[in-house]
Chain A
């Protein structure tokens, strides 16, 4: 099973700042199978990025994804108040696994 490790566990930033979230895989992952989700309290996860770098429909261009192999990054260019949430990466190898999440909180 491929394990995804996200860092940092918690990221404290202010609105307007740039956020960089990391997702590291225990073995190489096909970029096409790497996705990112946003989850707010009491809500279901929402797809942000698929294929490591493709934005889902309706997602702001402030969100971008990059990476390959074992290292992937989600970047939020200018934080808005509604961006503070928990973010998960997810991969498909022989099965689907999620990272443990990064909580993005207001500083």
Chain B
């Protein structure tokens, strides 16, 4: 079964760039799935950041689009995210997740499963 594992610095300085990587195991990142990042500020709800396909196609949350870049490394079976110009408001647990689904009878289904365990990133000087 597919498993995801986030990695990256746990502390980033304000105005800096937050960089995280998600390693995919138990399956190929070149499968017919999209690969997403979702974050959760402490004690708050979930916010979708963006997603990438193995071809390199990306979609981003409009509210973060100007600061985020998601890339894929098929040779390492992993994908990454960079969030620039961070502030304390970007402090959160960052999750990577497989965004999967299918289309049938003129309807398409989309959902996130599985998720990585998450990694806490704190923005502070």
Contacts and interface: CB of A to CB of B under 8 A. Distances in A.
Interface residues of B, number: 23
Interface in B78-117: 95, 97, 101, 107-117
B45 A98 contact: yes
Contacts of A56: 111, 113
Interface of B: 36, 45-48, 59, 61-62, 95, 97, 101, 107-118
A44 B62 contact: no
A70 B114 CA distance: 26
Given A1-B62, A44-B118, A35 B45 contact: no
Contacts of B114: 47
A26 interface: no
B111 A98 contact: no
Interface string A36-77: 010000011111001100101000000000000000000000
A99 B45 contact: yes
* B interface: dominant SS: strand
Contacts of B111: 35, 47, 50, 56, 90
Contacts, number: 61
Nearest to A56: B113
A30 interface: yes
Nearest to B4: A44
A106 B107 CA distance: 38
11 contacts: A30-B107, A33-B109, A35-B110, A44-B115, A45-B112, A47-B114, A50-B109, A50-B110, A51-B107, A96-B110, A98-B46
Contact of B48 (A30, A96, A101): A96
Given A33-B108, A56-B111, A95-B62, 7 more contacts: A32-B109, A37-B112, A44-B115, A47-B113, A54-B109, A97-B48, A100-B45
Nearest to A1: B62
Contacts of B110: 32-33, 35, 50, 92, 96
Interface string A1-18: 100000000000000000
A84 interface: no
B22 to A, nearest CB: 12
